Amino acid sequence: MNRESLVNKIGSHDLSWEETHSIIDELVESINETENLYDAIIGINRGGLIPSVLMSHKLDIQHGVTTVESYQGKNKGEHKIDQHVSILQKLDSDTRILLVDDIADTGFSLFEVIKELTKLGCDEENIDTATLHYKPKSIFKPTYIGDWANNELWIYYPWEQKK
């Protein structure tokens, strides 16, 4: 399927379910081509939850969740990471993790969750990342990228409610 490239698009884009599944299929294919084996997929709640569940089914890997909250108001820009990672197995330095989010916009969510996972005993070298989209302004570049997006583009994913 030929998707419209989001690299040069500005404004907003309503991503369809068809586009979403196409991107996830391409990500899964890229992961399979590397022959990297993962013990767990962890989705960053909320945006990465649906993509991570879909990927966990396609890759037949157990799934877990963590949450990142961005503060508003006077603490805007600060992030709070959920201290609990929902996962069936114990995380340790040998656990190979694929961390999934919808987009690497600023990159802070991915960066902060990796920092937290290392505090829980995971080896940072055993943590790879995947996002449906990546913006070049992001401070963090994922291991697997579904598509690049213009820094000025707002993407509405099909599971989101427009405000």
**DSSP character string of 88-135:** SS---TT--EEEEEEEESSSHHHHHHHHHHHHTT--GGGEEEEEEEE-
Q: Which two tokens stand for residue 72?
A: 């508003």
pLDDT at residue 18 above 90? Answer: yes
How do beta strands 62-70 and 127-134 pair?
unpaired
Classify residue 151 by its DSSP letter: T
- pLDDT band at residue 70 using 50, 70 and 90 as cut-offs: low
If one compares 92 and 127, the residue with the highest pLDDT of the two is 127
- Rounded to whole angstroms, what are the CA distances from 52 to 4, 8, 112, 131, 137? 23, 26, 18, 9, 23
Domains of the chain from N-terminus onward = 16-156 (3.40.50.2020)
Report the range of poorest mean pLDDT among 7-21, 62-76, 143-157: 62-76
The mean pLDDT of the chain is 87
Instruction: Write down the pLDDT at residue 93.
Output: 87
If one compares 36 and 82, the residue with the highest pLDDT of the two is 36
Percent of the chain having pLDDT more than 70? Answer: 84
pLDDT in tens, 73-113: 455 555 666 555 666 456 788 889 999 999 999 999 999 89
Q: What number is the average pLDDT over the span 48-52?
A: 96
pLDDT at residue 51 above 70? Answer: yes
Geometric angle at alpha carbon 113, from 60 and 14, rounded to 5°: 70
- pLDDT band at residue 5 using 50, 70 and 90 as cut-offs: confident
